[in-house]
Amino acid sequence: MTVPRYWRNIGAHYRLEGIRCKSCGEVSFPPRSSCPKCHSKDVEVVQLPRKGKVVSFSLLRSPPNGFEAYVPYYVVVVELENGVRVLGTLTDVFGEVKEGMEVEAVFRKISEDGEEGLIHYGTKFRPIA
Ligand SMILES: [Zn+2]
C-alpha cells in the first residue's frame, strides 16, 4: 500500500486542516498545493470544524492489506459544519449508523505496518452521543 503524501503530514489530520483558496474562496480537504476548483496555487491552510454529519456511509468487509484487524468498519463521507466534505472512517460505533448522524473528528491510529513499524494516521469520526 502506498501512502499518499498528505498522510505523511500528520498535522493535517491531527488538527483536521484543509486549504482555502485565496482566488476563489473554495475550502477543501485534504490539504494540497493547489485549488481543486480553479487550480490556483495561492492557497492557505485553514483549520476545519471538527463536527459534522454523515452524508453517506458503507460498511467495509474486505479491507486493504494492513487493515484486516479493523473489519468490518464504516467508511463515511462527513459534511463538516462549513459544508466541506471529508472522507474518513467511523470509530466507537455502538448503535445504528444512519445518514444525518452527528459526528466529531478524533485522532486515532489507522493502521500499523508490523515490519517497519510505520503507523498511518487518518481521519476518524465518532458519533456524538
Ligand atoms: Zn480556487
pLDDT at 89 (0 to 100): 87
Could you tell me the distance, in angstroms and rounded to a whole number, from the CA of residue 96 to the centre of ligand 1? 38
Domain count, the chain: 1
The cell for 20 is 482555502
Residue 32 CA, ligand 1 centroid: distance in Å: 12
Q: Which residues contact 8 (CB under 8 A, 6 or more apart)?
A: none
C-alpha cell at 29: 480537504
Determine the Cα–Cα distance for residues 46 and 98; give it in Å rounded to an integer. 29
Nearest Cα neighbor of 44 from 27, 25, 19, 73 is: 19
What confidence score (pLDDT) does residue 102 get? Answer: 96
pTM above threshold 0.85: no
CATH assignment at residue 73? 2.40.50.840
Q: Residue 76 Cα, ligand 1 centroid: separation in angstroms?
A: 25
Q: How far is the CA of 90 from the centre of ligand 1 (A)?
A: 30
For residue 25, give its domain range.
5-127
**Which own/partner pairs from 14-18 qualify as long-range (CB within 8 Å, at least 24 positions apart)?**
14/107, 14/121, 15/47, 16/47, 16/48, 16/49, 16/50, 16/86, 16/105, 16/123, 17/45, 17/46, 17/47, 17/48, 18/45, 18/46, 18/48, 18/84
pLDDT at res. 16: 83
How far out from the chain centre does Cα 63 lie?
Answer: 17
Q: What is the mean pLDDT of each run of 10 residues along the chain (129 residues)?
A: 48 72 93 94 93 93 74 88 91 89 80 56 81
Give the model's pLDDT for residue 65: 76
Query: How far does the centroid of ligand 1 lie from the alpha carbon of residue 81, in Å?
Result: 20
Cell representation of residue 41: 496555487
Task: Give the Cα separation of 15 and 56 in Å (integer).
Answer: 23
